[in-house]
Structure 1
């Protein structure tokens, strides 16, 4: 009997990996499942990006190993993108590291900075990968509460009371997934000061800043951020390129260099054609974002109606790719999700997937066609 590593005893298969197997099985049995649980964009990427990927296949060296740091022109375009949309100056030479998706970055950052027994502050509710990667590296996740009454922002008075001696990383994520809440200037100033006081690396995971959000923001806009912060970003949601796996890590050169030392031992560079396509995507005009969000606003209005028919409430000011809906009192998230799947053949994500503070909530995705959402409405 060959035993797996002990670290696997601390993590389970990713929830959506397991649940989508169940959904696929139900579909194979003839069930007309409407998937409103997963945030995988169904819209087309920018046409010029797809054409550039295709045309680049004939370039000399297109199929060779690529630089671990990405094409210089990709780093330049990321730098320009940050300047144009976030009003942040970053050096394309020293402060940009392209990634094969920001999920890869979560692992690489964690491997670069965590030792066994170190601690990591994890938002509750939040993206499950922060905790699972922490456990895989035999570090200890420390959940910190995010609650509706505080606009899903952390309470720094409570955080200061924690034993922070071995805390190395704090994950933050605004606009927040799954709730769609936004952070204000005061929060960014506070979290940067908190990181400096305690020697904690603050990592902002920022893939949703252009979805139904008129004021995209970056933590690197704030004074002192580069001393203690990194920011992950992605083209997956903004440009409908989730399957391409294009992300970026931006910030302090020394931090990025530590991550590169991990990354360069784990891959052999991003495919040339994908990088060329990503460059074209980053050049999109503001009309791209307006067009994208016009579709999501129509879908959001329909999802709000669906939530109401299911006796849920929601925040009309929330942004991002999801609707975070509050269930009627005493209704459990997973029971509700299973009921909707069984009775209406609609899959929605239970809030408990994202942490204990997700109990009493469900998450609806906007990554479904208007026709599918209207069909869901008709069923309910």
Structure 2
């Protein structure tokens, strides 16, 4: 009888495993379409025949049902400078580890089973790292240091709490697609750096307290939810002089935690910061001035801050009291902020 019970238990385990595998394979089919357009060569319309795509696949599972129980170990097992994309499927679970995708691992996809159930979590913060003035940049839960990385269906969390600078996700290389992900932290949640770095976030949730989207990269945040957890600032761009775009938030929703009443849309971490909000919903917790000059009058003549069609709880948001050095765009001006214009041709399949 005991043997029979064990046999049935094993069969159930196999069935459950097959169910998860079927789900992951379905996600692979969807992913192929995206990758075919994202990284195409030799076709005038920017697409590649799907039959010509090849992928290496790895599976991570906390219960040992995959080849790896650690995401980092799976990345380390991936080929350096591969000819094909490496897809790492991550089954539901909480992965308490600091993850790094190094420069020699381009074209990696981290695909979770469910963004609410597949969690990468770590709690590093500035004072704990204690490497001097640049300690912030060592704190990231997930660091993307390779180009053409895709992140989907994941929660990426820095759970250090309100203890100062503590990055959840850091991106320092070009053509990074982040879709259907939760990015959670407090101060400095999301960091994107590099004048030639372009990052696309679509259908994501980002939470934080102070300057929780920051950096000098070009970043498009699309159809995403931003949760402000303290009276502070959302975007702290450090855009380089002469750079066409900085942070662009399009068709987003900005929410505030209970008790939060004084939030600024952004402030310039560096003098030539650029931040633009398009068609975005926000509440009365946004300060009437909208923008802060980071205690420097000089920043008002160099930073570029703009909005178009900002919406409040009852329709179009009153913006008469916005900072005089910020801009309210007209439709022809707003229309130039397409995904292709902001990020380049690699996202032409999205619009």
Decide: shared fold, TM above 0.5: no
Relative to its length, the structure with more strand (as a share) is: 2
- TM-score normalised by the chain length of structure 1: 0.24
Q: Larger relative contact order (C-alpha < 8 A, sep ≥ 6)?
A: 1
